[in-house]
Amino acid sequence: MSNLAQMLQTAGSSIEADDDFDAINALMREKGWSDGLPIVPPTEARVAAMLAYCDRPFDQPIAKIAPRWGEATPLRLAANAVMAGCQPRYFPLYMLAIEAMCEEPLNLYGVQATTHLCAPLVIVNGPVARELDINCGHNAFGPGHQANASIGRAIRLALVNIGGAIPALGDMSTFGSPAKYSYLVAENEAESPWQPLHVDRGFPAEASAVTVIGAECPHNVNDHESLDGEGVLMTIAGTMGIAGSNDIYYQAQPLVIMGPEHAKAVAASFSKDDARRFLQQHAHLTVSKLSRDNIERRVRVTFKDRLANPRPDDLIYAVQRPEDLLIAVIGGAGKHSAFVPTFGATLPVTRALKTVDGRLAKSVEDFRRG
């Protein structure tokens, strides 16, 4: 069904409130439908404008969001997108990100409910990233761009309002994370010396796509001194071997983000596959960096084939196989890269933006009704 007025007659689909910004925000906080920041009231008119960019039936779930397994209908998603401050033309990409993160390999139930501080990171590739002006350059993970801020925020609101990731109820994260407010960027394809991330993941270059990763915040890798690619990779590898990381105990697929300057230095002597192999071989820590109890209770259990009786100088790898490492080029000028560890029990999911009839979308205008 795509008749909004008729749908809002259904019990539980709408509420009446005083037409006052402060009163509406107070109501939203009281209901628990807020991330703590003021929201844009999801009036029928604003939701209708958002749904003008939806080519699906408004009441048919596109996914069920864990841990509550709430049904993510376009109608509910549109309300959350309005609340977050999205422009209507962002809506197709927002729906795609929600669909991707609900695919089984991501293990959204675990990502949402864990005591770990992970959040779904969305990396956007392709022409729609440019069309929507999603920041991929300076301060890409920071403030300043409406698309990054509001689509990321709309995702979090849906994870809470539809998925039930309510702090201390459905989201048991010990610390939470600033990434739980908004965590969406684009890859800096124009300044990358390599093919884009979504092409690495098997999609055509002309596709627009999202890659979702159950991720920690980026950890900076400062290297202003290395004069060649191997030096930069050594510094990145040295940053990846972390004793407290979930990734070392799983066949995880963490992310290395190279700033464009580092990427160009590396690409002068390494293909992306060569860089993956180098990082896998050199990103490790010795058993001696772990506590006695961790060695006894995790290392000897997890690596029972290789490290049943580990010696202090035995190696534990940050990534088990080269092909498990994701590499993307993001950011502006500066000799920095970043390492993004994951929840461990999660795998990245990439999904292309397609219209309801299965065609690769060239533009968000492909989704516009009427």
Shortest spacing between CB 88 and another protein, in angstroms: 14
Shortest spacing between CB 29 and another protein, in angstroms: 13
- Whichever of 130 and 298 has its CB closer to another protein, that residue is 298
Whole-angstrom Cα distance, residue 268 to residue 247?
29
- Whichever of 161 and 192 has its CB closer to another protein, that residue is 161
DSSP result, 224-285:
SS--SHHHHHHHHHHHH--TT-SGGGTT---EEEEPHHHHHHHHTT--HHHHHHHHHHH-EE
Token pair in block for residue 343: 């929840």
Shortest spacing between CB 21 and another protein, in angstroms: 10
Nearby residues of 255 by Cβ (< 8 Å), 6 or more positions away: 121, 213, 215, 325, 326, 327, 328, 339, 340, 342, 348
Shortest spacing between CB 172 and another protein, in angstroms: 10
Whole-angstrom Cα distance, residue 169 to residue 331?
35
- Whichever of 35 and 261 has its CB closer to another protein, that residue is 35
- Whichever of 114 and 280 has its CB closer to another protein, that residue is 114
What length is written for the chain?
370
Shortest spacing between CB 308 and another protein, in angstroms: 16
Shortest spacing between CB 79 and another protein, in angstroms: 4
Shortest spacing between CB 12 and another protein, in angstroms: 6
Buried b (16+ CB within 10 A) or exposed e, 111-150: bbbbebbbbbbbbbbbbbbebbebbbbeebbeeebebbbb
Tell which residue, 187, 162, 216, has the closest CA to residue 350: 187
- Whichever of 47 and 124 has its CB closer to another protein, that residue is 47
Q: How are beta strands 336-340 and 349-352 bridged, if at all?
A: unpaired
The alpha carbon of 63 is separated from its chain's Cα centroid by a whole number of angstroms, namely: 17
Token pair in block for residue 81: 């997108």
Shortest spacing between CB 74 and another protein, in angstroms: 11
Radius of gyration of the chain (CA): 22
Q: Taking the CB of residue 355, how many other CB atoms lie within 10 A of it?
A: 14
- Whichever of 76 and 354 has its CB closer to another protein, that residue is 76
Whole-angstrom Cα distance, residue 217 to residue 178?
8
- Whichever of 164 and 331 has its CB closer to another protein, that residue is 164
- Whichever of 41 and 126 has its CB closer to another protein, that residue is 41
- Whichever of 69 and 228 has its CB closer to another protein, that residue is 69
- The residues that touch another protein, with contacts defined as CB under 8 A, are 8, 12-20, 23-24, 31, 33, 41-44, 47, 65, 68-73, 75-76, 78-80, 82-83, 107, 109-110, 114, 157-158, 161-164, 250, 297, 343-345
* H/E stretch holding 158: helix 146-161
Shortest spacing between CB 334 and another protein, in angstroms: 35
Nearby residues of 34 by Cβ (< 8 Å), 6 or more positions away: 25, 28, 83, 157
